Structure 1
């Protein structure tokens, strides 16, 4: 039986504080990639807890840096920097949303090991850090969770990573919003059950 959200968040917070969590010695000595899944209806509670943990970590007493990347915000920043937001609106009206998904994916190299998002995450993650990836639900269908996880596995990122996933993760499949199955294999571990 799965514990309640608050209890799971407490356990997660305790887990990331442990030095062994940050030693990058997961199963078969892989980099530690973790998925914290939760009921999508609890999104705001999860966001509040992450913000609380981030502020608490800023005091510098934890022994590591907590770095939070909201994937949706990163995509929007890129599109705004390139002044693509208005263009994509016009393209969507003429060519449809599937065209926008392909255009954004191509522009940001989403399917490549060195995608724009992966490079930013690697460049902005200091030594001795724990990385939280958020905003997965807001990104759908522009970005699929498996792309980020698989591309990060190929990167030189040396930090432990926690992907906050609004849905269910069975260690076999990700089911976004408890409705949309992703039929890819993941090398990530469920952080707290």
Structure 2
């Protein structure tokens, strides 16, 4: 799995951050939702293959759901992690918890935290190039943050690297569907990497 992704990401022409099809350097790679566990095993292998000397890339892998949990653990309210407070309310006020999680997942503070992490990583001195950031975990973070919303919010921050969103779903007639069922409802400015691979 992800052998086709390796071929395109290893291409020196594609590695240049300025070589995106549009001015928005983001791509979505769709994979079958029933292959989620295969995907989770394949992603670190893809990273390792790209680190080989003949390719020379060191991509960052970000699980967006884990990033949100870390963000909520680091934010405090009354000296306690915000995540603890949210979890305490889960049984007695699930709708309130749902609203809180959506608000924090789509907040400027969270997006800026993630964007800063990406920028720090890609700008660090390294023997290997850092042209790619891989983002996954969309099934876990749904419905608090959709990938289309994330890409919209990331737009002002995307410079100097290519963002590759790994998406468990389908792509047809210009529309992405999470798990092959839930239509995005938004137009993605990101390109479908599968189409580029197939061409």
Instruction: Pick from 114, 120, 124 the counterpart of residue 121 of structure 2.
Output: 124
Give the conservation status (yes or no) of the 8 Å contact 2:31–2:168.
yes
**Any residues of structure 2 matched to 1:66-77 within 5 Å, and which?**
66-77=59-70
Instruction: State the Cα distance separating 1:61 from its structure 2 match.
Output: 4.4
Q: Go from structure 1 to structure 2 and tell me whether the alpha carbon gap of 1:137 and 1:117 turns closer, same or farther (over 3 Å shift).
A: same
Give the conservation status (yes or no) of the 8 Å contact 2:10–2:50.
no
Q: Go from structure 1 to structure 2 and tell me whether the alpha carbon gap of 1:132 and 1:189 turns closer, same or farther (over 3 Å shift).
A: same
Partner of 1:26: 20
Give the conservation status (yes or no) of the 8 Å contact 2:27–2:192.
yes
Q: Go from structure 1 to structure 2 and tell me whether the alpha carbon gap of 1:26 and 1:54 turns closer, same or farther (over 3 Å shift).
A: closer
Is residue 87 from structure 1 mapped to residue 85 from structure 2 by the alignment?
yes
Tell me the TM-score normalized by structure 2. 0.80
Partner of 2:34: 41
User: Structure 1 stretches of 5 or more lacking a match?
Assistant: 1-5
Q: Go from structure 1 to structure 2 and tell me whether the alpha carbon gap of 1:162 and 1:64 turns closer, same or farther (over 3 Å shift).
A: same
Partner of 2:170: 168
Q: Deviations over 1:167-193 (max 9, x none)?
A: 012373221111111100111111124
Instruction: State the Cα distance separating 1:49 from its structure 2 match.
Output: 1.2
Partner of 1:3: none
Tell me the TM-score normalized by structure 1. 0.82
Stretches of 4+ moved more than 6 A in 1? none
Partner of 2:126: none
Instruction: State the Cα distance separating 1:59 from its structure 2 match.
Output: 4.7
Deviates more, 1:120-129 or 1:78-87: 120-129
Deviates more, 1:51-60 or 1:38-47: 51-60
Which secondary structure state, in structure 1, belongs to the residue aligned with residue 19 of structure 2? Answer: coil
Give the conservation status (yes or no) of the 8 Å contact 1:171–1:189.
no
Which secondary structure state, in structure 2, belongs to the residue aligned with residue 85 of structure 1? Answer: helix
Give the conservation status (yes or no) of the 8 Å contact 1:131–1:159.
yes
Give the Cα separation in 2 of the matches to 1:150 and 1:177: 21
Give the conservation status (yes or no) of the 8 Å contact 1:31–1:158.
no
